[in-house]
Amino acid sequence: MDEIKDKFVGKWKLDRSERFEDFLYECGVNFFGRKMAGMAKPVSEISVKEDGRVHISMVTSFMTQGDSFLLGEEFEKDMRGNKMVGKSSYKDGKIIIEYTPTDPSIKPQKVTREVVNGELVQTMEIGDVICKRYMKRMDSEV
């Protein structure tokens, strides 16, 4: 847990994205939703509570979403009305969450977070689409 605290804890602001609109399309987000999300510059906050629970939130001007989990344990999540079961792990310096939908017609997703050259790199996978979002630490608010 100390490594997660040292590397990830703090606030991170989106700097740039690759294939984010493609990712949202695969998730079933409509055109308007994709355009709104693409314009947003979310802030991600990562914290670790005393009980070892990891909290990751993503805040934009029009929505807030987040996860709260113990590594290795399953948790439930509602993603745009779709019920998912998440399972987290920490491997090779990366926080990995795999989401399995309860509805078999919905595609599973995988989200990996790692710190590379001082940036938080969030890789999101669904189907054949791999999206990367790069965030910079907000030094003044850590």
Question: Which is more confidently placed, 28 or 48?
Answer: 48
Token pair listed for 137: 């630490």
> Is the pLDDT confidence value at 1 over 90?
no
- Sheet of 64-69, strand order: 64-69, 54-59, 43-48, 10-18, 129-137, 119-126, 109-116, 94-101, 82-91, 74-79
48-63 pLDDT tens trace: 999 999 999 999 887 8
| CATH class, range 2-137 | mainly beta
80-104 pLDDT tens trace: 778 999 999 999 999 999 999 998 8
Residue spans of the domains in the chain: they are: 2-137
Mean pLDDT of the chain: 92
Among positive and negative, which fits the CA dihedral 84, 88, 68, 119?
negative
